[in-house]
Amino acid sequence: MFNMRHLARAIMMMVRRGETAALLREVQERIYSNDTSMILRCDMWENHPAPQAKIALRLRQLQAKDVPLVIRERPRRLPVLLAKIPTCYAAITETDELAFMLWVVFDSEWERLKPHFKGRIHSPLQSDECLFEFAYTFEKFRGKGVMSAALVMIAEQVVKERPSVRWAYNYIRQDNWPSLKGSRNAGFRPYMKRQEHWRAMRLRETFIRLDPGTRFPFEEVVRDDSAAASLPAAGLANRAG
C-alpha cells in the first residue's frame, strides 16, 4: 500500500539533490495545467531489430545492490522501489554499471503500480498486455542510444518469459521528444492520446484513439518544414511577414 512516509522521504532526497524546482513545477502543474501524453503501443510478436547502442549492453533484473545508485540519482523512484514490483529490468554495461531501467507491469501487478502512476490508463490491462513504465537512462549513458536498444531487449525477454503477452504500452508526455524518439526506434507507434487537465489538485482525463499510421509530433514537424521549403520564395516572404 502507498506509504506517505516513503513519499516524504523521496521528497527530502530530491531537495538534497537540488531538484526543488522540479518539485515546485509538479505542484504548480497540479494546481492548474493542461497537458497531453501520447500512449504508444508495440506489437512484441513482431520482429523489431535492436538499434545498435554505442556501448555494449546486456539485460538482467534489477538487484538489491542497484538500489542505492537508483535512489541516489533518481530519488523519486523510492516509493515504487519499495512496492517491490518484481519485473524491473536493468540494461547494464560490460562492467556491470546501470545504464537503463524500466518496470514492466502485467495485469496481475497493476494494483501495486497504480498508487505511483499519475492518472488512469486507457483500459484495464488484459492478460496479453503489459505496461512499460518509469523508463530511465542514467545520466552517464545518455546520448548513446541506450533506451532504444534496451527497450527491444526487454520486449524480447518479456515474450520469452511470457509467450502469451503480445502488446506493450508506454505513456510519454507529448513534449518529451527524446523518449518518444527512443520508443519509436524500438518499434512503438502512436496509439492514443491522453489529455490531462489539472484543477486544484484534481485530474480530469480524456482519451482519444488515433488513426493507424498517426505520426509522432517530431515527424509532423519534419514534414511541415520540408513542405515549407518547397514553397515559392514570395510565399515564404508573405508568411514571414
Mapped to the 3 state alphabet, what secondary structure does 135-170 carry?
Answer: EEECHHHCCCCHHHHHHHHHHHHHHHHCCCCCEEEE
User: Cα(177)–Cα(143) distance, rounded to whole angstroms?
Assistant: 13
Question: What average pLDDT does the chain have?
Answer: 88
pLDDT number for residue 23: 81
Say whether pLDDT at 181 is over 60.
yes
How do the domains of the chain map onto residue ranges?
4-19+40-191
Percent of the chain with pLDDT over 90: 73
Say whether pLDDT at 240 is over 80.
no
Report the pLDDT averaged over residues 124-138. Answer: 97
Task: Give the residues across from 115 on adjacent strands.
Answer: none
pLDDT number for residue 227: 45
| CB 158, CB 168: distance < 8 Å | yes
- R_g over Cα of the chain: 19
- Give the alpha-carbon dihedral of 82, 87, 92, 97, to 10 degrees: 10
Helical H segments across the chain, by residue range: 4-16, 20-31, 67-73, 78-82, 110-113, 146-161, 177-185, 217-229, 233-240
Domain covering 4-19+40-191, topology: Aminopeptidase (3.40.630)
Say whether pLDDT at 97 is over 80.
yes
Residue 175's pLDDT band (cuts 50, 70, 90): very high
Cell of 9: 522521504
pLDDT number for residue 190: 98
Say whether pLDDT at 2 is over 70.
no
Percent of the chain with pLDDT over 70: 89
Say whether pLDDT at 6 is over 70.
no
| CB 155, CB 103: distance < 8 Å | no
Tell me the residue length of the chain: 241
| CB 90, CB 128: distance < 8 Å | no
pLDDT number for residue 48: 87
Report the pLDDT averaged over residues 48-59. Answer: 91
| CB 183, CB 38: distance < 8 Å | no
The model carries a pTM of: 0.85
Q: Greater confidence, 175 or 8?
A: 175
Cell of 215: 505520426
User: Cα(109)–Cα(106) distance, rounded to whole angstroms?
Assistant: 5
Report the pLDDT averaged over residues 150-167. Answer: 97
Task: Give the residues across from 137 on adjacent strands.
Answer: 100
pLDDT number for residue 213: 93
pLDDT number for residue 222: 55
